[in-house]
Structure 1
Amino acid sequence: MPTNKNYLVISALGNDRPGIIDNLSKAIFDNECNITDSRMTVLGGEFAILLMVEGQWNTLSKLEDAIPGLEQELGLTIIAKRTEERSAAADLLPYGVEVVSLDHPGIVHHLASFFSQHHINIEDMATSNYAAAHTGTPMFSVHMTVGIPADIHISTLRKEFLEFCDSLNLDAVLEPIKG
């Protein structure tokens, strides 16, 4: 008999130090819940984590009740929100976007604006800056996963996107994600 799945999204932020993931994942395990999806990174001196946790409604409630104690114990700011499993959008095509350029303000905003104007959802994004090999020039890279509606003509979109990137002096690739 199928059971109704219950989910909790947890966001936590705090000073980076060893053991945060160990302690947070132990609390989730001890409350009989399971991490189904996660993103973790260190930004500056801060550790940031997003978790999607699955459990029975009562075990998720126990975990929610434990959050104030976890914040105190782990030195984190934690936000939790109930959610539902994301339904698969059959009419969206998964594409990967890679952009590299000299670092300058507004790159993320311009890219987000382009996709928003085309009614394309950015589903995942990671950015970084680094020094170019040999020259030390400040560089910026963006990796995105976008969901392109199936009714959009891909070759036209790709052409518009590459022209848009050329106008901003961005090197870019827009390719399907192979499953």
Structure 2
Amino acid sequence: MTRQQQKTYLVISALGEDRPGIVSQLSKLILDQGCNIEDSRMTVLGGEFAAMLLVEGKWNMLAKIENALPEIERQLGLTIVCKRTGERASGHNLLPYAVDVVAMDHPGIINQLASFFAERDINIEDLSTTTYAAAHTGTPMFAVHMTVGIPADIHIAALREDFMDYCDALNLDAVLEPVKG
């Protein structure tokens, strides 16, 4: 792609007390500037609304959004941080795999899983967690879902066996499988 054809992006992170209308107002600002939300994650954590948006648009339209953010931050009572970014490098040598783990909740699960993959130079591309009470017993449970990019030169069967052994030793129920679709 030539320089003019490359897409330009703005990553916007917003955090503030949850209330109805935040998504509507943020998305309207982006739409009004002729830009598009290409990817996003939005959730409520505790009583706080948290959002990460990847906004695509012409550089000058993204600049208008950047200039409008302080006022939006004030109006919505949010803390907003933004950063310009470029297109993501293609991971043509990476195989996307889904990792699902469930265990009784205790500190350190994320760190243990992240360490396993980091030691093997495997990137965690997406991660979400939740806690819930187990049916019947009410035991606090912890669930993790992540997508990892496994280098094509890694022997998948050996990796899966190592991962399952690792999780068994930590009393974690786990699945490692190719991303479908």
Q: State the shift of 1:88 in Å.
A: 1.6
TM-score with structure 1 setting the length: 0.98
Which shows bigger deviation, 140-149 or 25-34?
25-34
1:106 aligns with 2:108: yes
Distance 1:39 1:165 in 2: 28
- CA offset digits 1:5-55 (Å, max 9, x no partner): 110000000000000000000011111111000000100000000000011
- CA offset digits 1:51-91 (Å, max 9, x no partner): 00011111000110001001001111000000011122110
Q: Who is 2:78 aligned against?
A: 76
Q: State the shift of 1:3 in Å.
A: 2.6
Question: Could you say what secondary structure the match of 2:177 adopts?
Answer: strand
Q: Who is 2:118 aligned against?
A: 116
Q: Who is 2:140 aligned against?
A: 138
Equivalent runs, 1:17-166 vs 2, <5 Å: 17-166=19-168
Aligned residues: 179
Match of 1:176 among 169, 178, 181: 178
Q: Who is 2:16 aligned against?
A: 14
List gaps (5 residues or longer) in structure 2.
none
Partner amino acid, structure 2, of 1:116: A
Partner amino acid, structure 2, of 1:163: D
Distance 1:15 1:133 in 2: 31
List structure 1 runs of 4+ shifted beyond 4 angstroms.
none
Distance 2:106 2:56 in 1: 40
Question: Could you say what secondary structure the match of 2:50 adopts?
Answer: strand
Distance 1:35 1:60 in 2: 12
Distance 1:89 1:104 in 2: 33
Partner amino acid, structure 2, of 1:24: L
- CA offset digits 1:112-158 (Å, max 9, x no partner): 00000011000000000100001100000000000000000000000
Distance 1:92 1:4 in 2: 23
List gaps (5 residues or longer) in structure 1.
none
Distance 1:107 1:118 in 2: 17
- CA offset digits 1:99-123 (Å, max 9, x no partner): 0000000000000000000110000
CA-based RMSD of the aligned residues comes to 1.0
